[in-house]
Structure formats: C-alpha cells, structure tokens
Structure 1
Amino acid sequence: MRGGQTKNAALTTALAFHYQVLIGLEKCFALEEGQSIWFEKDGDVSLISPNTLTSSQTEVKDYSAALTDHHENFWKTLKNWLATEFDHTQYGVLVLHTTQAFGSTTQLKDWNTQTADQRLQVLKDIYAERTNEQLNSEKPSDIIKLQKTVMACSEALLKSVLGKVTLFTEADNAQNLEQCILAKPVGIPKNNLSSYLQGLVGFVYAQATQHSWSISQLAFRAKCEELTALLCKREFTFPVFSGYEASDLEVELHQDKLFVQKIAEIEHHAMIPDAIGNWLELQNSFLEQLDEYPLYKDKTVTYQNQLVKKYKLAYSSAQLESVDAIKSSKLLYNKTMQEHPLNMGNDIPPIEYKNGLIHDAMDDEERDLKWRVEP
C-alpha cells in the first residue's frame, strides 16, 4: 500500500455535503418564529418563511479558484434558478454562497449593487466575448453549454431572477464556519463546545427523512436549550499541582518574601523550598488560561478565607499548649501543612493548593498571620 493520501471522490462529496449542512446549521441560529431551514428542497439550503420576500434559496459552493466571468460555478447556478422546474417566485432572495473570491478582472465584482437591467447587461457583455466558432462548435465546452442555456431564456425571466440574486463571496470554509457556530452559545464551558457542535450537527442530520429534510425554528430552539442545559453543567476542576520544590535559585530569589521570613523566624529552614514551591504553583495557576478561571478565582478567595479562620483557631490552641516557642511553632507548621484539605463542594483540592494558599495568606501584611507561637 502506498503512503500518502489517495483521491477519493466519495470523501470529497461527503465533505462538500457536510459543508452544506454547516451552512444550514449556521442559518438556524437566525430563524424567527414560523421560519424553517430546508435541505435539498429546491437546491442546497432554503429558508422558508411565511413571508415570501424573506424566504431565500442558497446554493453552497466550496471552491478555491477565483470567481471569474466564465466560471462554471456562477453559470451553473443561474441555469438551475432559471430552469422551468424551479419556482423562483417562492423566494425573495437567491444566494450563491461561495468560498471563492472575485477574480481581479471579473465584471461580476459590482453585482450586489446593480439593478436587474445592469446585471443582465453584464451577462450580455460576458457572453459577447464568445466567438461564433465557440458557440457553433459541434462539441462545445461545458461552460459554453451553460452560457447558451442561460442566455436563451427570455429577458423577462432573466430580469426577474437576476434581480433576486446575491453573490456571497469569500465565505468561511468549514473550519472557520465551525468556529463561528461555536461562538454563538453562552454559558457552555470551552471544553464542552465540541460536544455542543456535535450534538447540533447530529440533530440536523437526524431530521432527514425519505420525503423531506427540514428544521423548524421551534425544534431548533428546543434542541439548543436541551444541549445548553446538559453541557453547561460540569464539576469544577483544579489546575494541576505537582508538589513542586523550589530550586536554590528560586529560594534565593524569594527569600525576602514575608511568608519565607516567617518560616525562617521559627528556624524551620528545611521547609522553605517546599513552601516556596507550593506558593509558586499557586501563583502560576492564576496565570493559566483556564476555561473556568473566574470561577476558580472566586472559589479560591472563599476557600482561603476558610483556611485562615481554621488556622487562627489552631494558632490559638498552640498558644495555650505552648512550652517552647520554637518547638511549638514548628509543630504548628507541620500539623498545618500535613492537614487534609477542606472539601470545596464535592471536590477535595490538592494539598499543594491548600498549602500554597496558607503561604499566600502569610504573605499578606493586612492579615497579620505568623507561625511563631507567642503566649
């Protein structure tokens, strides 16, 4: 078996169809009461509204080549909209939604600001570039066949259809479209957004039957509410605390910190590297790009206040039992560091997190905490 990718027409078709589904899904977010999105009704994606003028039919194209005067994408789409089996009167807007950018010399670039008469003249000017030899060839190219079919329509029909056509160029590709969709929900953690998108895409596909494929505004809103209620719920998670021990350089760098001086004051020098390591891990956790950072910060403040209250009671007890200040101080330090963390809701925080918060509180001059036990 050869390495690398192989050409796979079925895969290409599937990806193109998935892109079409993403376009329809994105449109679902803008649905108003009574409206619905249909797939493969009169083309790729249709927005059906009680008011015909606000109904639209969209042809979805994912191309990399530029949109030029003679590009098959443009002319084939016009041919489909001009066909007798397509009832354009059901729609107020016809959209060619393409990832293509306008070619540098195309006569189509001002299309969206032109009248139906001006657009028809543009088609005539482009068509006039064809030679008699090209038009009368026994085996004309596919693009010439399309152009001949379009230009053979009556001017009345052409004007009626052309007046509704909008060219939406440089549209987002599938990846960017997914990011756009993921920016819409509010209240869902970042880690759950992928599940949210998968849930919506699965919902869209599930609406297809042998007879029709549509999503109503009511059904889509209900699904969004269901997924939001499900995925906004999650247990609070802590950053990783590994029990980091500070290096000699870090000890030297932070030796003047108030919380370090308080440990040195009770001659517990061997504990300083661990203390600085716990404190550094806590400070670093505040700098991490956590999805739930605001929640983490709020919970941390509340939890630290609980630890300080508990410590004050322990300090008071140590004062009552003190015989030797240094010995009692070291025992208080050891007992405090070894204590099992208080629960935070249903979670038990890492012990390094708890200890880091105690050192952080010791570093706060206003709290006036200390390790040295004084009767």
Structure 2
Amino acid sequence: MSGGQTKNAALTTAFAFHYQVLIGLDKCFSLEEAQSVWFEKDGDVSLIAPDAVASTQTEVKDYATPLTDHHENLWKTLKNWLAPEFNHTQYGVLVLHTTQAFGATTRLKDWNEQSVEQRLAVLQAIFAERTDEQLNTKKPSEIIKIQKAVMACDEALLKSVLDKVALFTVADNAQALEKQILAKPVGIPKNNLSSYLHGLVGFVYSQATQQSWSISQQAFAEKCEELTALLCKKEFTFPVFSGYEASELEVELHQDRPFVQKIAEIDHHEMIPDAVGNWLELQNSLLEQLDEYPLYKDKTVTYQNQLVRKYKLAYSSAQLEAIDAIKSSKLLYNKTMQEQPLNMGNDIPPIEYKNGLIHDAMDDDERDLKWRVEP
C-alpha cells in the first residue's frame, strides 16, 4: 500500500536527519573559541573556523551495505564536492562519515594513508573497469553517470579535492552516538542524562532559521552550563506533593484498606478522600525513578518511625483525656493531620507527605495503630 510506503520513507528520512543532527551535536563539544557548527551550509555538517585549514565539511551517511569500489556513497559525495557551487577552498578537510565498513575486496581501504596521486590512481583503476558499452549506452546507470562526471573534471581541481578527503568508516550508529555524547557531561546524575541529551538536541533544532542554521562555541557552552546547573546533583529535595484529593472511584477502590477502615470506624467519613489522596501521593512518590530514590526511601523509613513514636505518645494522652470515644478520636485525627511536619535535617517535608506516612503506618497491621480512642 502506498500510504505505508510513504510513511516509512518519511520515517527513514527523519531518522537520517536526526543522525546528522547528532553528528553535529557531537562536534559542538570540540568547538574552540570563535568556531561554530553549521548544518546544511555546504552539505550536511560544517565546522567553521577563522582559519580555513581548521575548517571541515562532513557528509553524513548511514548505510548498512559495505563501502565498495563502485558504491554510490563515495562517488556521489565526490561529485558534490567537485561541483562549481561548492568552494572547497573554505575547508582544510572533507570528511565522508559513514556507518559502512569497507568491502572485503575494495581498493579504498588504504585511502587515508595514500598520497593524492595514489588516490587518483585508485579512482582511475576503478573507472577503467567500465566497458565502452556501459559508458556509451543511451541510458547508463546512475552510478556510471556519477563516475563519468567525477572523472571528467579538471585534473587539477580533482587532485585539490582528493587531497582533502578523509574516509571515516564504521562510524557509530545513532544509539551508540547518543551513548558517546552522554559520556561527556560531568556531575549530572545518571537518571538526568536523558533530560540533558534531550535539552541539547532541542537546543540544536531551535537554532535553525529560514536563513541559516548554526551553533557558535559560546552559545553551546552557555547551554551546557545552563543544563548542568539545572540537572546536576543538588542537595536532596522531596518530590512534589500537591495535596491530591482522591476521586470517588479511587475511594471505592481502596475502601477495604485498613487505614480507610480505621477512619470509617470513628465516623470521620468526610476525611477519607483527603486521606486516600495523601496515601496515593506517597505511594506514587516511592515509585518514581528519582536519582535520589535510595536516599529518599531511607529518609522516608526513618521519618515514618519518628512520626509513629510521636503518634503513640499523642494517642496515650488522648486516652487519658477521653470522655467520648468518637469525639476524642476525631479530635486526635484532626490534631494529627493539622500538625506541622517534623524537620528532616534542614528540610521541612510537605504536610501531605507527613500525613501520607501516617496513613501508611495505619495500613500496617504489624504496627497495630488506630484512631479510635478507648477511654
């Protein structure tokens, strides 16, 4: 079906473009003062420096098939670099960055170690394999058209370009590249690294305008500092508690839990939605994948034990003063819920966190806690 093919083609294009962005992002980490990374300026990714010798133009290709003598990847890239509209003098290095490995028998394997004369000789030998019939047919294949265009160029121009060409093969795929990028930041917790990457990728995309798309060394450094300050390891902080009030469905779902039954036992039914809401917020906070989770869990256990000890003392006092069991029980409940939280080191926890822990303790049969005051 054509609809599926169009969608798949669009996805393939999108993934290829995202890979190009990741390559550019990776280059941003090596930028020096006054340098910048450009996208779609003279090709895929350009590193522009005040000195042309230090500038590089990179064509990014993600292929599964090997890089062989007649593969279109190298030949098409050479054709683009030889085009009149491309000014190769702006760059000291022209890089073909490809995920491909060299083919088993290709003559391109030693390219990066060869002189310009040797490189030209390799291309000439490869092109010489084409027969007159292949070259002169009315409808030559696309790769033959490209090869003819390359080899028909002025030899001086061809040698000038070939002298700058570097082949970077078996390049990391997108997943490996992301992992490589995430190894660069220092001081950011593991669970925050994904947010760091997303922040940088979003920053790169946001720099595109209708006129140009570039990232300067200064702008990139400032963004890295901003994200590091935001996501680096800070002093322990609590998850957000909003004072959630449980819905009728949630109350019904949890109505048989011991902590709910103990509130119903003292005829304090109107307090149940808030109690279930506090309990749910606590449970959800303990399920969150926080970087500080081990510390949060340990602090929570310690804090709950403190609250239970304090509650037992308050319950004993309520027993001594009790005349009416239900009234005394409701007063104990209200006083306990309204009390400001105990300090946890230098922090004052959210009151919903404190109350959620009390309800959680009431839900623990082994603690044998209750609201009903028996005179």
Alignment of structure 1 residues 1-375 onto 2, 5 Å: 6-8=5-7, 9-232=9-232, 233=234, 235=237, 292=291, 343-344=343-344, 346=349
Per the TM alignment, residue 17 of structure 1 is displaced from its structure 2 partner at its CA by: 1.2
Aligned to 1:104, the other structure's residue is in SS state coil
How many Å separate the matches in 2 of 1:85 and 1:20? 22
Deviation at 1:300, TM superposition (A): 9.4
How far, CA to CA, are the matches of 1:228 and 1:11 in structure 2?
A: 32
* Aligned counterparts of 1:291 and 1:125: Cα–Cα separation in 2: 60
After TM superposition, give the deviation of residue 38 of structure 1 in Å: 0.5
Gaps of 5+ in 1: 238-289, 309-340, 356-375
Deviation at residue 191 of structure 1 after TM alignment: 2.2
**What SS class does the counterpart of residue 153 from structure 1 fall into?**
coil
Aligned residues: 302
Please tell me whether the aligned partners of residues 79 and 150 of structure 2 are also in contact (alpha carbons under 8 angstroms).
yes
Deviations 1:197-244 (A, max 9, x none): 22111111111111111100000111111111122257367xxxxxxx
Amino acid at match of 1:235: T
Partner secondary structure for residue 223 of structure 1:
helix
Partners of 2:142 and 2:302 in 1: CA distance: 76
CA distance in 2, matches of 1:179, 1:161: 33
The answer to whether the Cα contact below 8 Å between 1:102 and 1:169 also exists between their aligned partners in 2 is yes
CA RMSD of aligned residues (A): 4.4
Give me the whole-angstrom Cα distance separating, in 1, the residues matched to 2:197 and 2:293. 26
Instruction: Report % sequence identity.
Output: 70
Aligned residues of 1:97 and 1:171 also touching (Cα < 8 A) = yes
Report the secondary structure of 2:70's partner residue. coil
TM-score scaled by length of structure 1: 0.65
Closer/same/farther in 2, CA of residues 33 and 5 from structure 1, 3 Å limit: same
Q: CA deviation at 1:11?
A: 2.2
Query: Does the residue aligned with 1:58 lie in a helix, a strand or coil?
Result: strand
8 Å CA contact 2:304, 2:357 repeated in 1: no
TM-score of the superposed pair, with normalisation by structure 2: 0.65
Q: Is the 8 A contact 2:342 2:349 kept in 1?
A: no
Give the CA deviation at 1:142: 0.4
Report the alpha carbon displacement of residue 182 of structure 1 after superposing the two structures with TM. 1.7
**SS at structure 2 position matched to 1:107:** coil
**Gap runs ≥5 in structure 2:** 240-288, 306-340, 362-375
Cα distance change of structure 1 residues 301 and 151 upon mapping to structure 2, 3 Å threshold: same
8 A Cα contact 1:190 1:291, kept in partner: no
Is this contact kept in 2: 1:33–1:218, CA < 8 A?
Answer: yes
Classify the secondary structure of the residue corresponding to 1:235.
coil
